[in-house]
C-alpha cells in the first residue's frame, strides 16, 4: 500500500501507476489524514462472451414470423378498449 499526500499525488502520481497495475493500492491523505483510496481495476475478460444462454439450442419457430391476429394488432394501436 502506497500512502501519498495530495500534493505529492498531484505532482508524482504517474510514478506510481506501475505499482497500481501490479495490484498495489494508493491511500490519498490530506495533511496525513487518509481521505481516499485508489485501487486497480480488475482485468477485463479476454474470452469472448457467449451469445445468449441457450448455446445453440434455441431456435425461432417459423410461426414467429406469421402476421399477428387483428385483435392483437389493434391492442398495440390503442383501438381496443
**Model confidence pLDDT, tens digit, residues 30-55:** 999 999 999 998 877 777 776 666 66
**Does 8 have pLDDT greater than 70?**
yes
Over residues 10-23, the mean pLDDT reads 90
Find cell 493500492 and name the residue.
25
Task: For residue 10, give the nearest of 22, 23, 28 by alpha carbon.
Answer: 28
Considering the segment(s) 2-38 as one domain, its CATH architecture is: 3-Layer(aba) Sandwich (3.40)
| Spatial contact of 3 and 19, defined as CB atoms under 8 Å apart | no
- Residue 10's SS3 state is helix
Domain boundaries, the chain: 2-38
- Distance, in Å, from the CA atom of 79 to the CA atom of 70, rounded to the nearest integer, reads 11
pTM metric for this prediction: 0.51
54-77 tens-digit pLDDT: 666 777 889 999 998 888 888 888
Amino acid at each position: 500500500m502506497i500512502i501519498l499526500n495530495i500534493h505529492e499525488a498531484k505532482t508524482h502520481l504517474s510514478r506510481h501507476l506501475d505499482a497500481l497495475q501490479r495490484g498495489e493500492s494508493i491511500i490519498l491523505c490530506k495533511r496525513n489524514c487518509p481521505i481516499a483510496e485508489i485501487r486497480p481495476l480488475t482485468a477485463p475478460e479476454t474470452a469472448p462472451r457467449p451469445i445468449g444462454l441457450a448455446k445453440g439450442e434455441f431456435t425461432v419457430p417459423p410461426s414467429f414470423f406469421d402476421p399477428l391476429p387483428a385483435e392483437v394488432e389493434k391492442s398495440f394501436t390503442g383501438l381496443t378498449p
